[in-house]
Amino acid sequence: MKVLFVTFFLLASNTVLLATPPQPHIIFIIADDLGWDDVGFHGSDIRTPNIDKLAHSGIILNQYYVSPICSPTRSAIMTGRHPIHTGLQHEVIGGATPYGLPLNETTMAQHLKTLGYATHIVGKWHLGFFSRDYLPTSRGFDSHFGYYTGHEDYFDHTAEDSGFWGLDLRRNLDAVWDMNEKYATEIFTNEAENIILSHNQSAPLFLYLAHQAVHAGNYHGDPLEAPQHYIDRFPDIHDKNRRIFAGMVSALDDSVGNLTRVLQETGMLPNTIMIFTTDNGGPTNGYDRNAACNWPLRGVKNTMWEGGVRGTGFVHSALLKRSQYVQENLMHVTDWLPTLYQAACGDPSHLGDIDGQSLWDMLTNQGHPVRKEVLHNIDPIGNFSALRMGEYKLVMGDISHGFYDSWYPPPRSFVSVNRSVYSKDDFFKLKSKAISVNCGPKPANASINCQPEKRPCLFHIPSDPCEFSNIASDNKYLVQLFLDRLEQLESSMVPPLNTPIDPKGNPALHGGVWQWWK
């Protein structure tokens, strides 16, 4: 009888163990400067079949917001804290500016390591590197293959930044000199594939793949760079820059497809959560010498308009209880840390004083809204702010630096912004499953009815996602509620950390490499 009881106990124990799912692998992919209209599932002229397949079979995030520019978004992903609380609310960290993500902030990699994860970063860091303590391998990552500054040449891997120039590619702490003429998107993809293939699956994997694609390369010559075979995929795009840009996007799409294939081949895909996000809106109409597109949204990268802060993103995983739907609830980039921490079997309450909220239950169950507001930014140096509360958005100050506050269709588009944005024109029939942003007709005074540098503007985003109609004058009580809330949020803000350029960061002083430390 005793033997039978022990046998039954062991069998029951094994059953419990087998029924407990392992922690999921997390593959977090960031595209750089990808615009709203640069993916197929938003109706783009650029074909992205691999991205579209994952998006449509997962959860498309249609009310998802990021910061308007790079370093703030990446800091929010890493810490779950809003940039106004980390001092990174103004512009980006320059290559020769001696500051970075504060060392008292705990990164996503450090948090996941406490849950037993192997952690790797491939690609862009852009959160400070003037001291070894600020490097990704000192902030919770087991390895890093990539670069530290905001952008590099896609082929020779040098970076122009802060008026200086030098090599910016390394494996962990060592400069990499033998990758000349190898395309950045492809070498980062190959590195990510090798990490997955060599991963010991007895532990969960966190892979943070921060592509340079589709940010412009160096600013000498042509900053848009792609191998010709990618460019040749788009003979129907007649604008030269947009065609090259499309090739850059296509290389990114191939990267997503290759990673999905390797995860499938290793048997890891069924237990993997894949995140895809841009870091900010696209720089369009020649801004930053790029050819991205946020159509039909207003504005561009580094502005508070929807085109600067409304993020392209999705979640894909077989672990989702509900999928193949469009998520219309608010989500902010700070939510990734607590959301993924909960998905990894951690308790988000252990993450400390963060601004993000765990949306895992909401996402996986297609549940009710969790987040009620999104602070886009408060920038005391740039003198602007923007806040979303419920269905309304208030903007005030010089939110677009005096330029790029219009609506920019893709080159040679068949559509006029003076007409209903999603018309019957053939351009919008390219993707039958495209996620529409229906703005309605553009009013004649759309370009002049909001002057946020003079007085606050208010928009009702669900009915006016293109920010055509400023309704502030008819909603003064609501405007005051926004101003009161902004004042409350500003009282919790820390000063920006921005510092002047330091000549000691010049790569010429460090063997031609972006490296401050000895």
Domain boundaries, the chain: 22-372+498-510, 376-490
| Cis peptide preceding 122, ω within 30 of 0 | no
So what's the pLDDT on residue 170?
Answer: 97
So what's the pLDDT on residue 434?
Answer: 72
In angstroms, what is the C-alpha Rg of the chain? 23
Q: Which fold has domain 376-490?
A: Arylsulfatase, C-terminal domain (3.30.1120)
DSSP annotation of 407: B
User: How far is residue 356's CA from residue 366's CA, in Å, rounded to a whole number?
Assistant: 19
So what's the pLDDT on residue 21?
Answer: 59
Check if 126 is active-site: yes
Q: Are 338 and 357 spatial neighbours (Cβ–Cβ below 8 Å)? A: yes
Helical H segments across 289-405, by residue range: 306-309, 336-343, 360-365
CATH class entry, domain 22-372+498-510: alpha beta
> Pick the catalytic residue: 25, 82, 90, 126?
126
So what's the pLDDT on residue 412?
Answer: 60
So what's the pLDDT on residue 273?
Answer: 98
Check if 70 is active-site: yes
Closest CA to 252 of 220, 235, 269, 277: 277
Q: Are 153 and 225 spatial neighbours (Cβ–Cβ below 8 Å)? A: yes
So what's the pLDDT on residue 19?
Answer: 40
Profile the chain (518 residues) by mean pLDDT over runs of 10 residues: 43 42 93 97 95 98 98 98 98 98 98 98 98 98 98 96 96 96 97 98 98 89 90 94 96 98 98 98 88 96 97 98 97 98 98 98 97 98 97 96 88 43 37 71 95 97 97 98 98 98 97 90
Helix, strand and coil content of the chain, in percent to the nearest 5, comes to 30, 15, 55
> Pick the catalytic residue: 42, 70, 439, 466?
70
